[in-house]
Amino acid sequence: MKKIDSEAKIWTLEVVCNGRKEENFLPCGQAWEVAEEDIVVRKEWYWDSEIEIFGFICPDCGTFTQFEKTSLIPEYIKNRCLIKYRMEQEKAAKSRKKVRSILEKIFKRQRAVEN
């Protein structure tokens, strides 16, 4: 049995910045080799259901480009990206809740001072 070199099995995808799914940015057309850690997940409403969109943010122009063929991304990578996305969303929700709680305390103190 032989150990597999961990660097040899890293998944990548060659894509071009085309600005798909962006309205306010002009894509630069630069070719990139995208790895798992470069994948960005966005959620959008399509008719009456929410869908996940996989893409990347171009380091040169900042444009989000949606992958045209998500079938080229292995399922295990899609799943890890979705888990990461959900964890980030939960963290952001907790942060918003904490900020809301702090603001409520501040407003209560202000009302108490005014009265």
- Measure the CA dihedral 13/16/20/22, to 10°: 110
pTM attached to this predicted model: 0.66
pLDDT higher for 10 or 36?
A: 36
Average pLDDT value for the chain: 82
Burial class, 58, CB count within 10 angstroms (exposed 0-12 / middle 13-18 / buried 19+): buried
Residue 32 has pLDDT above 80, yes or no: yes
8 Å CB contact between 82 and 70: no
Phi, psi of 62 (to 5 degrees): 80, 10
Residue 79 has pLDDT above 80, yes or no: yes
